[in-house]
Structure 1
Amino acid sequence: MRKGLLETVINGLNTRTSHAQVVNELGLAIIAGEYPVGATLPGDAELAARFKVSRTVLREAMKTLAAKGLVVPRARIGTRVTPNTQWNLFDSDILTWYFAVGIDESFLLHLSEVRLAFEPHAAALAARHATEADISQMMRLAVAMGDTSHTAESLALADLRFHLSVLDASRNPFLRTVGSLIEAALVGAFKLSSPAADLGKMGEVAATHIRIVEEIDRRDEEGARRAMENVIRVGRERVVQALREEE
């Protein structure tokens, strides 16, 4: 089973196949600007020799990069890097490469804006559709976030499990598919600032997530929406502050 973005950042990227190695190295190089927009990638013979792979493996890797929107093949011209407006930023590989290269405040703010666009609505839908089993599961996950034995890594994973459970409870399959954006935002929090370093903050984090579940349990759609907005905004402020201090 493929590792998620957060687990990949925590444990490191493990490219087990030659196809994955080619995709990963070229993807990273494109995101890093080693091959700028409009640039033509080296020819098949050069890349096949560089990666020590067959032409077949190389062609499949190029198809994968094209499917992600990073490149486009041109007859008699070669494979060109596309503008970043065409890149699929919902793709977990692309998000992984962005974090490997290094993200800035603007990137994190854009992520939070997208989260604010759909997660509060997901919480409102959960207040409408969640079953008692869903609510029990969400509450268990929210309470678990206050465990004082958490490391930064385990807290980030607990946070992710909670937010994905809300998407599941919304009963909207489209919302569940954008979970990679939540992962990306939590990767930013994990790498820059974690409440696990402060036991007091961990209690606050658990309490704000429990509030979301309480509003869902009350079937208060607006209350659930506001509670989710609060969690996202507080998390964004913590990460942006940490990023500015780091700079």
Structure 2
Amino acid sequence: MIEPGSLLRSLSGRVTARNFHSHVINELGAGVISGRFPVGSILPNDAALMDEFAVSRTVLREALKTLEAKGLVEARPKVGTKVVKQSRWSLYDAQVLAWCLEAGPDEEFLRGLHNVRHALEPQAASDAASHHSGDQIRLMHYWLRQMELALNEPQSFCLADFELHRIIAEAARNPFIRALQGVIELSHALAYRTIVHEQHVVDLTPVFQKHYQLVGAIERGLASEAGLAMTATIEQDVQMAIDFPPSR
């Protein structure tokens, strides 16, 4: 389990696993997503993996159970642990999405990611305009202010940007939209990763202004305007990912 914002905080460098269990999960999970362990293949046997990662059988088995719960592998009696097809992967799981970012998602994945955001986040903004609480509006303004203060600090800016979207999803009062948290964070990571990692000088004022308009529409209860404003912020993320592709 990773905390909200962990993926964005890792943009300036890969986060080291906290323990052997986490290390095994990360290495095997990333290996599946990247294709090091192709779909349909059988993972090396327990003895080989225990030797590779220098862990006990107990640690290894618990790590494999975690990966099975995420839909990446399945244990088959007398066969071993098999990598399953992508359609079974838990793509709303934040850790799985982090591995997708590390591996470099393909065009089909990116298209699906953006389509999901376009389908659901504008609705979240519209619902938030109708259902927000006073505390949620105060939090939205807080994160807007953090964006404004971080116009010259891309990593802090993108964290505040994500937190603002997360509060809007909460204000929508829809558990299925709330479950998009990992998708939203991955989209922000894709938009900002090159800017943060390579320390590009970028004018983030237009991004701030779009979010300012978004919060204003939500605060005034303008559901239709809020939905359109959210669509504009999503399109900004897509364009930033295009304008600043990762270095090869």
What residue ranges of structure 2 are gaps of 5+ in the alignment? none
Matched residue, 1:213: 215
Matched residue, 2:122: 120
CA separation in 2, counterparts of 1:241 and 1:159?
Answer: 18
Query: Do 2:147 and 2:208's aligned partners in 1 also have CA atoms closer than 8 Å?
Result: yes
- In the superposition, the TM-score normalised over structure 2's length comes to 0.90
Matched residue, 2:202: 198
What is the CA distance between 1:109 and its match in structure 2? Answer: 3.0
Matched residue, 2:244: 242
CA separation in 2, counterparts of 1:181 and 1:53?
Answer: 32
Query: Do 1:5 and 1:180's aligned partners in 2 also have CA atoms closer than 8 Å?
Result: no
Query: Do 2:154 and 2:192's aligned partners in 1 also have CA atoms closer than 8 Å?
Result: yes
Q: Does 1:83 align with 2:85?
A: yes
What is the CA distance between 1:10 and its match in structure 2? Answer: 3.6
CA separation in 1, counterparts of 2:13 and 2:89?
Answer: 25
Matched residue, 1:18: 20
CA separation in 2, counterparts of 1:242 and 1:11?
Answer: 18
Q: Which of 161, 164, 179 is 2:163 aligned to?
A: 161
Q: Which amino acid aligns with 1:50?
A: E
Q: Does 1:92 align with 2:94?
A: yes
What is the CA distance between 1:11 and its match in structure 2? Answer: 4.7
Q: What is the DSSP-based 3-state SS (H/G/I as helix, E as strand, rest coil) of the residue aligned with 2:74?
A: strand
Q: Percent identity?
A: 36
Q: Does 1:180 align with 2:182?
A: yes
What is the CA distance between 1:163 and its match in structure 2? Answer: 0.6
Q: Which of 44, 47, 67 is 1:45 aligned to?
A: 47
What is the CA distance between 1:75 and its match in structure 2? Answer: 0.7
CA separation in 2, counterparts of 1:67 and 1:119?
Answer: 27
Of 88-97 and 190-199, deviating more is: 190-199
Of 118-127 and 99-108, deviating more is: 99-108
Q: Which amino acid aligns with 2:143?
A: L
* Residues 127, 72 of structure 1: alpha-carbon distance in 2 compared, 3 angstrom cutoff: same
Of 153-162 and 229-238, deviating more is: 229-238
Q: Does 1:70 align with 2:72?
A: yes
Query: Do 2:74 and 2:82's aligned partners in 1 also have CA atoms closer than 8 Å?
Result: yes
What is the CA distance between 1:149 and its match in structure 2? Answer: 5.0
What is the CA distance between 1:246 and its match in structure 2? Answer: 5.7
Query: Do 1:108 and 1:188's aligned partners in 2 also have CA atoms closer than 8 Å?
Result: no
Q: Which amino acid aligns with 2:10?
A: T
CA separation in 2, counterparts of 1:196 and 1:124?
Answer: 34
What is the CA distance between 1:47 and its match in structure 2? Answer: 1.1
Paired residues, number: 244
Q: Which amino acid aligns with 1:187?
A: A
Q: What is the 5 A alignment of 1:52-67?
A: 52-67=54-69
Instruction: Quote the RMSD (CA, aligned, Å).
Output: 2.2
What residue ranges of structure 1 are gaps of 5+ in the alignment? none
Query: Do 1:143 and 1:206's aligned partners in 2 also have CA atoms closer than 8 Å?
Result: no
Query: Do 1:143 and 1:210's aligned partners in 2 also have CA atoms closer than 8 Å?
Result: no
Query: Do 1:150 and 1:196's aligned partners in 2 also have CA atoms closer than 8 Å?
Result: no
